[in-house]
Amino acid sequence: MTTTSITGKTALVTGGGSGIGLGAATKLVGDGAHVTICGRTEDKLVSAVESLAGSVGDGGSIRHIAADITVEDEIAAAVAFAAEPTGGLDILFANAGGSMHMGPFADADADALRATVDVNLVGTMLTIKHAVAAMRSNGGGSIITMSSGAGAFPHRFLWAYGASKAGIDMLSRSAAEELGADGIRVNSVQPGIVDDELMSFITAGGKLLDDYIGGMPIARVGTVEDIAEAVRFLAGPESSWITGVNLPIDGGHHLRAGANYGLLFE
């Protein structure tokens, strides 16, 4: 029978100081993993570690390192730090990202587009790149990347973010195909609208939230825990024959139409 334990496994969660990253770290550390969270803001990471101190499961630990995933030396150092407890890396949740552009094509700002692609696509690529050696030395591992429903079907005016997230989905499938022989699995998650700090300007209510809910067969806002549970499943041995999957976690939103961010401009 396949074990579902991750006790004593090493894990790195980027963007782990808040939101979905912190939720996933909570789940992993609660199940006994040695979890390192990283992000750009030291104070936020310190507070997150303090909040998780009472959640650490038997055999696990929680710590942090400040790093910007778009700076290669910094993410390389974060991977090395996360691997220290055992000498290798078992789990990577490449969660860090963001959106620096929103609006119509005719008004597009090239610098904002480049910044969005840099943090999402290039940052995720660099994170995977430096995780590979640490996982190979460990005999394999599981990589989960953070995509979005916006990367799978059009969300009006959110195309720059969506295009960069679509790139993450292809990046993940390509890495899964290449790294499977090393025992490294790679999957992405595609959350819908989630009630966290980043999405609070939408989940507080209004036309855009109504548009989201109207497009979802399971008509509710997602929770951080909804995503964290999926990440935990993909991180663990119970998903050992799953790789190259782009998993929607969105109440079925992907079955209908993308959200209309143009409503924010009305």
Domain that holds residue 229: 10-192+224-251
Is residue 261 annotated as part of the catalytic site, yes or no? Answer: no
Q: Which of the residues 159, 161, 212, 261 is marked catalytic?
A: 161
Which of the four pLDDT bands, split at 50, 70 and 90, describes residue 189? very high
Domain-embedded: residue 202: no
pLDDT for 1 equals 42
Task: List the Cα angle 219/148/200 in 5-degree steps.
Answer: 60
Up-side HSE of residue 58: CA atoms within 13 Å toward CB?
A: 1
First-residue to last-residue Cα distance in the chain:
56
Residue 156 is classified by DSSP as B
Contact criterion met (CB below 8 Å) for 48 and 42: no
Domain-embedded: residue 38: yes
Q: Which residue is listed with tokens 């909570």?
A: 26
Domain-embedded: residue 208: no
Domain-embedded: residue 261: no
Query: For position 177, which CATH number holds?
Result: 3.40.50.720
Domain-embedded: residue 118: yes
Which tops the pLDDT comparison, 2 or 13? 13
Task: List the Cα angle 240/233/23 in 5-degree steps.
Answer: 145
Beta bridge partners of 94: 145
Contact criterion met (CB below 8 Å) for 7 and 58: yes
**Residue 203 burial (C-beta neighbours within 10 Å; 0-12, 13-18, 19+):** middle
Question: What are 41-55's pLDDT values in tens digits?
Answer: 999 999 999 999 999
Question: What are 190-224's pLDDT values in tens digits?
Answer: 999 999 999 999 999 999 999 999 999 999 999 99
pLDDT at 4 over 90: no
Contact criterion met (CB below 8 Å) for 251 and 195: no
Domain-embedded: residue 213: no
Token pair of 204, please?
A: 């507080």
Question: What are 98-154's pLDDT values in tens digits?
Answer: 999 999 999 999 999 999 999 999 999 999 999 999 999 999 999 999 999 999 999
pTM of the model: 0.97
Extended beta strands in the chain, E state: 10-14, 34-39, 61-66, 91-94, 141-146, 184-191, 246-249
Token pair of 54, please?
A: 């009472």
Domain-embedded: residue 206: no
- Quick one: residue 188, left, alpha or beta (phi over 0 = left, psi -120 to 50 = alpha)? beta
Question: What are 61-104's pLDDT values in tens digits?
Answer: 999 999 999 999 999 999 999 999 999 999 999 999 999 999 99
**Distance of alpha carbon 263 from alpha carbon 265, whole angstroms:** 5
The three-class DSSP label of residue 260 is strand
Question: Structural domain tally of the chain?
Answer: 1
**Distance of alpha carbon 17 from alpha carbon 162, whole angstroms:** 23
Domain-embedded: residue 144: yes
User: Whole-number mean pLDDT of the chain?
Assistant: 97
